[in-house]
Amino acid sequence: MTLSIDKAFGVSAAALKLRSERHQVLSQNLANADTPNYKARDFDFKAALAQASGGGSGGSLALQRTNAAHLPVGGAAGGSSMNMQYRVPFNPALDGNTVETQVEQAKFAENAVNYQASLNFLGDRITGLIGAIRGE
Protein backbone atom coordinates (compact mmCIF):
# COMPACT_ATOMS: atom_id res chain seq x y z
CA MET A 1 0.00 0.00 0.00
CA THR A 2 1.46 3.33 -1.05
CA LEU A 3 0.77 6.58 0.73
CA SER A 4 0.63 9.87 -1.14
CA ILE A 5 1.90 12.78 0.94
CA ASP A 6 -0.70 15.08 -0.66
CA LYS A 7 -3.50 12.71 0.32
CA ALA A 8 -2.07 12.18 3.79
CA PHE A 9 -1.98 15.87 4.64
CA GLY A 10 -5.22 16.68 2.87
CA VAL A 11 -6.25 20.26 2.37
CA SER A 12 -4.34 21.46 5.44
CA ALA A 13 -1.05 21.86 3.59
CA ALA A 14 -2.66 23.91 0.80
CA ALA A 15 -4.53 26.01 3.37
CA LEU A 16 -1.31 26.70 5.26
CA LYS A 17 0.45 27.86 2.08
CA LEU A 18 -2.45 30.11 1.08
CA ARG A 19 -2.70 31.57 4.59
CA SER A 20 1.01 32.39 4.41
CA GLU A 21 0.59 34.10 1.03
CA ARG A 22 -2.41 36.07 2.33
CA HIS A 23 -0.32 37.10 5.34
CA GLN A 24 2.24 38.62 2.95
CA VAL A 25 -0.44 40.46 0.95
CA LEU A 26 -2.00 41.93 4.09
CA SER A 27 1.46 42.89 5.40
CA GLN A 28 2.16 44.75 2.16
CA ASN A 29 -1.13 46.61 2.54
CA LEU A 30 -0.24 47.68 6.09
CA ALA A 31 3.29 48.66 5.08
CA ASN A 32 1.91 50.92 2.35
CA ALA A 33 -0.81 52.56 4.46
CA ASP A 34 0.72 56.01 3.88
CA THR A 35 1.79 55.55 0.25
CA PRO A 36 -0.16 57.85 -2.08
CA ASN A 37 -2.27 56.05 -4.71
CA TYR A 38 -1.54 52.61 -3.24
CA LYS A 39 -4.46 50.23 -3.74
CA ALA A 40 -5.12 47.65 -1.01
CA ARG A 41 -5.24 44.10 -2.35
CA ASP A 42 -6.56 40.79 -1.10
CA PHE A 43 -7.85 37.50 -2.48
CA ASP A 44 -10.81 35.24 -1.83
CA PHE A 45 -9.37 32.51 0.37
CA LYS A 46 -12.21 30.04 -0.21
CA ALA A 47 -11.95 30.32 -3.99
CA ALA A 48 -8.16 30.03 -3.91
CA LEU A 49 -8.36 26.97 -1.65
CA ALA A 50 -10.94 25.33 -3.91
CA GLN A 51 -8.69 25.97 -6.90
CA ALA A 52 -5.58 24.71 -5.08
CA SER A 53 -7.33 21.51 -3.98
CA GLY A 54 -8.62 20.78 -7.48
CA GLY A 55 -12.18 21.92 -6.96
CA GLY A 56 -11.88 25.11 -8.99
CA SER A 57 -13.95 26.00 -12.00
CA GLY A 58 -13.87 23.03 -14.34
CA GLY A 59 -14.05 25.08 -17.51
CA SER A 60 -10.98 27.23 -16.90
CA LEU A 61 -7.85 26.84 -18.98
CA ALA A 62 -4.38 26.84 -17.50
CA LEU A 63 -2.22 29.77 -18.59
CA GLN A 64 1.14 29.11 -20.16
CA ARG A 65 4.18 31.28 -20.85
CA THR A 66 4.93 31.43 -24.57
CA ASN A 67 8.15 33.39 -24.17
CA ALA A 68 10.85 33.29 -21.51
CA ALA A 69 10.60 37.09 -21.17
CA HIS A 70 6.95 36.89 -20.07
CA LEU A 71 6.09 37.24 -16.40
CA PRO A 72 5.23 34.05 -14.49
CA VAL A 73 1.54 33.11 -14.53
CA GLY A 74 0.94 33.98 -10.86
CA GLY A 75 2.71 37.33 -11.11
CA ALA A 76 5.79 38.30 -9.17
CA ALA A 77 4.65 36.50 -6.01
CA GLY A 78 6.13 33.21 -7.15
CA GLY A 79 3.42 31.80 -9.39
CA SER A 80 0.63 31.50 -6.88
CA SER A 81 -2.81 30.45 -8.05
CA MET A 82 -4.86 33.15 -6.36
CA ASN A 83 -6.93 35.82 -8.06
CA MET A 84 -5.84 39.15 -6.56
CA GLN A 85 -8.55 41.75 -6.11
CA TYR A 86 -8.54 45.37 -5.00
CA ARG A 87 -10.30 46.21 -1.75
CA VAL A 88 -13.05 48.82 -1.93
CA PRO A 89 -12.56 51.31 0.91
CA PHE A 90 -15.32 52.44 3.24
CA ASN A 91 -13.85 55.97 3.38
CA PRO A 92 -11.59 56.80 0.40
CA ALA A 93 -8.54 58.92 1.19
CA LEU A 94 -7.78 62.17 -0.63
CA ASP A 95 -4.38 60.88 -1.77
CA GLY A 96 -5.91 57.86 -3.58
CA ASN A 97 -4.73 55.32 -1.01
CA THR A 98 -7.36 52.64 -0.30
CA VAL A 99 -5.66 51.06 2.73
CA GLU A 100 -7.75 51.39 5.88
CA THR A 101 -5.46 50.47 8.74
CA GLN A 102 -8.16 49.19 11.09
CA VAL A 103 -9.69 46.95 8.42
CA GLU A 104 -6.29 45.59 7.41
CA GLN A 105 -5.30 44.94 11.02
CA ALA A 106 -8.54 43.06 11.61
CA LYS A 107 -8.02 40.95 8.46
CA PHE A 108 -4.39 40.38 9.47
CA ALA A 109 -5.38 39.19 12.98
CA GLU A 110 -8.11 36.94 11.57
CA ASN A 111 -5.66 35.44 9.09
CA ALA A 112 -3.08 34.89 11.86
CA VAL A 113 -5.62 32.94 13.94
CA ASN A 114 -6.64 30.89 10.90
CA TYR A 115 -2.97 30.26 10.06
CA GLN A 116 -2.41 28.91 13.56
CA ALA A 117 -5.48 26.69 13.24
CA SER A 118 -4.22 25.33 9.90
CA LEU A 119 -0.84 24.71 11.50
CA ASN A 120 -2.50 22.84 14.38
CA PHE A 121 -4.55 20.69 11.97
CA LEU A 122 -1.42 19.84 10.00
CA GLY A 123 0.52 19.08 13.19
CA ASP A 124 -2.24 16.79 14.42
CA ARG A 125 -2.25 14.99 11.07
CA ILE A 126 1.53 14.48 11.26
CA THR A 127 1.26 13.22 14.84
CA GLY A 128 -1.42 10.76 13.72
CA LEU A 129 0.73 9.51 10.84
CA ILE A 130 3.74 9.06 13.14
CA GLY A 131 1.53 7.12 15.55
CA ALA A 132 0.30 4.91 12.69
CA ILE A 133 3.86 4.22 11.55
CA ARG A 134 4.94 3.30 15.07
CA GLY A 135 1.84 1.14 15.52
CA GLU A 136 0.43 3.09 18.43
Interval 12-24 mean pLDDT = 91
- CB neighbour burial string for 91-124, b if at least 16 within 10 angstroms, e if fewer: eeeeeebbbbeebbeebbeebeebbeebeebbee
Which residues form the domain of 60?
A: 5-134
Can you tell me the mean pLDDT for 48-57?
74
Q: Which pLDDT score is estimated for 76? A: 42
Residue-wise pLDDT for 77-136, tens only, equals 444 456 889 988 998 889 999 999 999 999 999 999 999 999 999 999 889 889 988 987
SS3 26: helix
Residue pair 19/122 in contact (Cβ under 8 Å)? The answer is no
What distance in Å separates the CA atoms of residue 30 and residue 107, rounded to the nearest whole number? Answer: 11
Q: How many folded domains does the chain comprise?
A: 1
| Separation between Cα atoms, residue 39 and residue 49, nearest integer Å | 24
User: Is residue 11 very low, low, confident or very high in pLDDT (cuts 50, 70, 90)?
Assistant: confident
- Note the pLDDT of residue 75: 44
